């Protein structure tokens, strides 16, 4: 019992900092990814809007 309680005690003081750092880095990576994805989507939509009229012209 004594060993188990000793193992459990450091966790609450140590864990929140690690979780905070992990979540912060995770959110930073996600925001970077989202900006990249939004840029890619804008480029793709631009290309798509350029491609669709040519396709409709070809089909006609």
pLDDT digits (tens, 9 = 90+) for 20-46: 999 999 999 999 999 999 999 999 888
Cα angle: 8, vertex 21, 23; to 5 degrees: 100
**Reported confidence tier of residue 51, pLDDT bands at 50, 70, 90:** confident
Q: Looking at the whole model, is its pTM more than 0.85?
A: no
How far, in whole angstroms, is CA 46 from its chain's centroid? 24
Q: In the numeric block, which tokens belong to residue 30? A: 């996600």
**What mean pLDDT value characterizes the chain?**
78
Q: How far apart are CA 30 and CA 32, in angstroms?
A: 5
The H or E element that residue 54 is part of is helix 10-59
């Amino acid at each position: 019992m004594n060993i188990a309680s000793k193992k459990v005690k450091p966790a609450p003081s140590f864990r929140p900092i690690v979780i905070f750092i992990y979540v912060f880095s995770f959110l930073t990576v996600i925001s970077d990814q989202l900006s990249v994805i939004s840029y890619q989507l804008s480029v793709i939509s631009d290309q798509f809007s350029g491609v669709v009229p040519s396709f409709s012209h070809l089909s006609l």
